[in-house]
């Protein structure tokens, strides 16, 4: 019998479908992140850090645009990093580190990135830690380098419309899950736990993230801009927005 091997492409595809059910504009936000990274410098090859990068979604799209880019994926999840490693197969440096610890930069192969890009991830941290992390990110950027963080960041000037948009998005997502158009977060992890290669890593992950998810701390974009300025970035603003999600960008 042929031994079972992980099909990274298939797992990558199912991760994308699962995430897109929550974020139908996911590719738009990735494009906004990559446009900002390209615009921040004329230097090539680009040095990019895909922070809390999971399966390496941003890295794969960056390498599709710039095959010579020097990319680092950092995350803490052994399941997602195994898929990242298999998908990127030598085209990126994949590192394990905990963003809740101030020593995470020690895991990096570089200290002067052109861009640090992160999506749908930093809401896993609490406010005081995220404010510190913004300072630490500034220190791993070269002068003129850019940080872009795309995440759930409601616009506090539009509370009623934002709530109604979120309700409609939730209804559409529930219908897609009900119809089997995409796996839910929980369904995806159950599928991973049934995979012979990923199953032991799912057990390991359970010890790292005992509740399986995050505290979901999602302050408005204005909070992020204040924290970025306090962290010493020279410019900070909203780069992209759709409904309750936004991407903030900041230049060192
Ligand atoms: C929803 S996933 C998004 C992954 C990827 N950016 C994407 O868009 O596909 C959130 C990621 O944040 C990572 N993460 C959460 N807390 C972390 C921490 N303390 N240190 C490192 N990574 C963390 C998780 O492991 C997970 O991979």
- Band of residue 44 on the pLDDT scale cut at 50, 70, 90: very high
* Residue 30, in any domain of the structure: yes
Residue 119 Cα: closest atom of ligand 1:
6
Residue 48 near ligand 1, beta carbon < 6 Å: no
Residue where the block lists tokens 């994308």? 16
* Mean pLDDT, rounded, of the chain: 96
**Atom of ligand 1 at shortest range from CA of 54:** 27
State percent of the chain over pLDDT 90.
Answer: 93
* Domain total in the chain: 1
In this structure, the number of other CB atoms found within 10 A of the CB of residue 104 comes to 20
Q: What residue's CA is closest to ligand 1, atom 16?
A: 124
Task: List the residue whose alpha carbon is closest to atom 14 of ligand 1.
Answer: 52
Q: How far is Cα 223 from Cα 180, in angstroms, rounded to an integer? A: 37
User: Residue 160 domain-assigned?
Assistant: yes
Task: Write down the pLDDT at residue 216.
Answer: 87
From 76, 101, 122, mutation site for ligand 1 pocket: most ligand atoms within 8 A of C-beta: 76
Question: Residue 189 sits in a domain of what CATH number?
Answer: 3.40.50.150
Q: Is 56 in the pocket of ligand 1 (CB under 6 A)?
A: no
In a domain, 1, yes or no: no
Mean pLDDT over 44-72 rounds to 98
Give residue-wise pLDDT tens across range 142-159: 999 999 999 999 998 999
- Say yes or no: CB of residue 245 within 6 Å of ligand 1: no
Q: How far does CA 131 lie from the centroid of its chain?
A: 17
* Spatial CA neighbour of 71 closest among 120, 29, 33: 33
Residue 98 lies in a domain: yes
The yes-or-no verdict on residue 95 having pLDDT over 70 is yes
pLDDT tens sequence across 204-245: 999 999 887 777 899 999 999 999 999 999 999 999 999 999
Structure tokens at 3: 């031994």
Residue 7 buriedness (CB in 10 A; 0-12 / 13-18 / 19+) = middle
The two tokens of residue 184 are 């839910």
Please answer whether residues 50 and 74 qualify as being in contact, where contact means their C-beta atoms are separated by less than 8 angstroms: yes
Between the CA of residue 136 and those of 97, 104, 229, 232, what are the distances in Å?
A: 14, 9, 13, 10
For the CA atoms of the chain, what is the radius of gyration? Answer: 18
The DSSP-derived string for 193-224 is: HTSTTTHHHHHHHHHHSTTSS-------HHHH
In a domain, 197, yes or no: yes
First to last CA, the chain: 55
Position 25 in a domain: yes
Give a yes or no: residue 169 inside a domain.
yes
**Phi, psi of 99, rounded to the nearest 5 degrees:** -70, -5
Q: Is the CB of 84 under 6 A from ligand 1?
A: no
Domain region containing 62: 8-251
- The closest alpha carbon to 115, from 186, 159, 174, 50, belongs to 50
pLDDT above 70: residue 1: no
Report the separation in Å between the CA atom of 54 and the middle of ligand 1, taken as the mean of its atom positions.
Answer: 5
Asked if residue 76 is part of any domain, the answer here is yes
């Amino acid at each position: 019998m042929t031994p079972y091997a992980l099909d990274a492409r298939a797992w990558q595809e199912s991760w994308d479908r699962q995430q897109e059910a929550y974020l139908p504009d996911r590719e738009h936000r990735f494009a906004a992140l990559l446009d900002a990274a390209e615009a921040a410098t004329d230097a090539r090859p680009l040095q990019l850090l895909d922070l809390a990068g999971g399966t390496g979604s941003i890295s794969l799209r960056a390498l599709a645009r710039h095959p010579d880019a020097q990319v680092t994926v950092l995350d803490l999840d052994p399941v997602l990093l195994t898929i990242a490693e298999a998908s990127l197969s030598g085209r990126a440096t994949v590192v394990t580190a905990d963003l809740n610890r101030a020593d995470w930069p020690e895991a990096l192969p570089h200290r002067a990135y052109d861009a640090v890009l992160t999506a749908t991830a930093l809401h896993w941290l609490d406010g005081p830690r995220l404010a510190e992390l913004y300072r630490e990110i500034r220190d791993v950027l070269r002068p003129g380098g850019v940080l872009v963080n795309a995440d759930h960041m409601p616009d506090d000037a539009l509370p009623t419309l934002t709530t109604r948009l979120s309700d409609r998005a939730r209804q559409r997502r529930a219908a897609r899950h009900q119809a089997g158009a995409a796996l839910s977060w929980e369904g995806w992890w159950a599928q991973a736990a049934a995979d012979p290669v990923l199953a032991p890593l799912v057990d390991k992950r359970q010890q790292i993230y005992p509740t399986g998810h995050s505290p979901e701390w999602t302050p408005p974009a204005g909070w992020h801009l204040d924290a970025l300025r306090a962290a010493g970035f020279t410019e900070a603003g909203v780069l992209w927005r759709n409904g309750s999600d936004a991407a903030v960008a900041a230049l060192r």
